[in-house]
Structure formats: structure tokens, C-alpha cells
Amino acid sequence: MSKAKKSRVLSGVQPTGDVHLGNYLGAFSSWVQAQDTTESLFCIVDLHALTVEIDPGELRSNTIEMAKYLLACGLDPEKCAIFVQSQVPEHTYLTWLLECTATMGELNRMTQFKDKGRGNDSVKVGLFTYPVLMAADILAYNADLVPVGEDQKQHLELARNIAIRFNSRYGETFVVPDPLIPKVGARVMDLQTPTSKMSKSTSSPQGILYLSDTPEQIDKKVRRAVTDNDAEVFYDPHNKPGVSNLLELLGCATGENVDELATKYTSYGPLKADTAEALTELLRPVQARIKELSDNESYVLEVLERGRVRASELARATVDRASQAVGLLPAKTIQGIGGH
């Protein structure tokens, strides 16, 4: 009897500075789970990082640093491919084919662009077209599943729509991907403004928990987290966003159900103390592995090279098919984009 084909999983993260708990709980922990049962590819999306101003030296070192974080969080290069987006030029080639499939109306509706760039003449064109590059990242691998935080749901929907339109215009070329959004931790909120997501670009230093934070920093930030005045502990993200965020963080760190956890507390102090302690324990092994990797850059580069080879092989095959489908000259003319 032939074995059922494994689903393919693809997801990415921008190398834009320190990794925060939203990235870890919303994305990386599902990635670590996925690598055991699926064919998984994870991508450090450095081209996306160019959509906002970033120092070249910083981009280079952030890219290596992000690879270390992915390994420290539990990705295993024996089970998945970890690679750098710009090292697989098929992503940008496919973006053009997809930009000629997506519409201005669709991109105009992307809320992340509305929040970050709308109405500002000096905003980069790349920030506007970023969701199409993200669609190419996914469709180049014919990924079945894309594990992401809730903030990426709209971009995923766009990738699906582009794939469906391309397939119906040019024939079956792309797999239409599904999002994989975790039940808890899909939207980690800012500790100071719990109605907004924890985010590198908008959270204040007190509102964001970094994976590199010391136990003292975690304790201080969690104790100062904004809650409310009624001192009752129950899970209701709409009416009690701050308390619900703490319950979710504690639930993610301990594996316990948030409603059950809520019944254990009658005031905020103990909830905050337990949350800080659980998060410190959650991050302890990650921080220890980061230390181990800090002197082993050659190993990290080797992992990325292995990932690049695997990713290039898959992406080239899809790009060949897509190019021929739209009527471009045969694949031979595009093989070896980037000289490999």
C-alpha cells in the first residue's frame, strides 16, 4: 500500500530585530509542531524587511540572528528546510507573474497597508505590493498549509484568491493554501495597550516581551501589564482584554485551558506572578540554546545553505510551470536565475 503524501507547510518571518512572544506563540511553536508530521519549509523573508527603512549591516546581522532564533525555538534542520528568501530568486520572479494577476482593488483593501502607509507619499511601493511577494513565497512551494498568527489572515486570503484566479485563467498551476492559525496565542496583545497586537513597530518597550528578556525584565513587564479596575479574573477578550491576554500567555506557557486557569485566581497579583514565572520557564531553554549557537555561525550558515538548495529545487519547478502557463518562452531560458 502506498503511503499518503505528506502535506507541505511553508511560513516566514521578517528579520527585523528582536523576536517577540507574539512571533513565538503565534507562529514558531506551530512550526515546530508541523515539522514532525509535514514536509516543512521556513523562510527568513529579508526582502519583506526592505519595505521599511533598514540599515544594510543590521539587515545582514538580523538575518543570521533570526536563523539562530528559529533553531533555538526548536526547528530541526533534519526535519525541515530553513532558508533565506533573497537566496531563492524565484520568489521575485514569481511575484511579477502574480502582480499581473492581482488587482489594485485587492491590494487597496489590505488593512496592514492602510494602517502603516496609506496617505503617505514617501511610503515605499514595496510596502503596497508586499502581500503579492508573500503570495509568491507561498505559491512557489505549492504549500497546503501556512501556519501564521491572526494578523496574516487577510494576506493569506489574498494568496488564495490569486492562486484560484491564476488557475482558472491559465490552468491548474498552484495549490490553493489554507491558513493554520493556533487556537491560543494567535493574537498576543501588547501588555500596555491590550486592544492592539504585540508588534515590533508599534509596541512600546514596556508593552512587548522579547525572547531575549531576562527573568527580571519579564517580571517587571508582566507586573506592570494594563488590566482593569474590577479585579475579577475571567476570560473575555472583548470586555477584559488585558486579563484575557495574561490568561492566554499563561495558558500557552503551561498548556492549560484558559477558562480553567481563570477559576484559580481571585485577584490580579497572583495571576501576574504566575504568568511571569511560567514565561520565564518557557523561555529558559530557548535562551540557553541561543547562547550555544552564538559562537557557531558557520553551523547556522551551513543550515541556511542546505535549506536554499532544497527550496530552490522546489521553487524552480513551480516557476517553470507558471511561466509556461502564461505563455513565456520555455523554462530553459529562466533556469539558473541568480546563477545557480
Residues in contact with ligand AQP by CB under 6 A are 13-14, 16, 20, 22-23, 26-27, 148-149, 151-152, 186-188, 197-201
Of 188 and 319, CB closest to ligand AQP: 188
> Which is the catalytic residue, given 3, 5, 200, 220?
200
Give least dist CB 309 to ligand AQP, A.
Answer: 23
DSSP state of 24: I
In the complex with ligand AQP, the residue whose CB is nearer, 97 or 282, is: 282
Our CB check for ligand AQP shows the closer of 189 and 262 to be: 189
Residue 116 among the catalytic residues: yes
Q: Residues 25, 252: contact at Cβ < 8 Å?
A: yes
Decide whether 154 or 267 has the Cβ nearer to ligand AQP: 154
Please, what is the minimum distance in Å from the beta carbon of residue 48 to ligand AQP? 7
Q: Which residue is nearest to ligand AQP (CB)?
A: 26
Is 331:324 a contact under the CB 8 Å cutoff?
yes
The whole-angstrom separation of Cα 140 and Cα 316 is 8
Closest approach, Cβ 335 to ligand AQP, in A, equals 30
Annotated active-site residue 153? The verdict is no
Instruction: Considering the complex, state which of residue 98 and residue 138 has its C-beta at the smaller distance from ligand AQP.
Output: 138
b/e code 95-111 from CB counts within 10 Å (16+ = b): bebbbebbeeebbeebe
Q: How far apart are the first and last CA of the chain?
A: 38
User: Of the listed 6, 68, 79, 116, which one is catalytic?
Assistant: 116
Give the Cα separation of 3 and 57 in Å (integer): 46
Q: Shortest gap between Cβ of 251 and ligand AQP (angstroms)?
A: 14
Could you tell me if 179 and 233 are in contact, meaning their C-beta atoms sit under 8 angstroms apart?
A: no
> Which cell is 57 given?
549591516
Work out the angle between the directed axes of helices 56-72 and 268-293 (0-180°, nearest 10).
110
Shortest gap between Cβ of 235 and ligand AQP (angstroms)? 17
Task: Please check whether residue 193 is in contact with residue 229, taking contact to mean a CB–CB distance below 8 angstroms.
Answer: no
Q: Which residues pair with 44 in a beta bridge?
A: 13, 84
278: exposed, middle or buried (C-beta count within 10 Å: 0-12, 13-18, 19+)? buried
Give whichever of 153 and 264 is closer to ligand AQP, judged by the CB atom. Answer: 153
Q: Which of 68, 197, 240, 272 is catalytic?
A: 197
CB of 321 to ligand AQP, least distance (A): 27
Active site residue 79: no
Q: Sheet containing 178-180: which strands, arranged edge to edge?
A: 80-84, 39-44, 8-13, 145-147, 178-180
Which residues form the catalytic set? 116, 197, 200
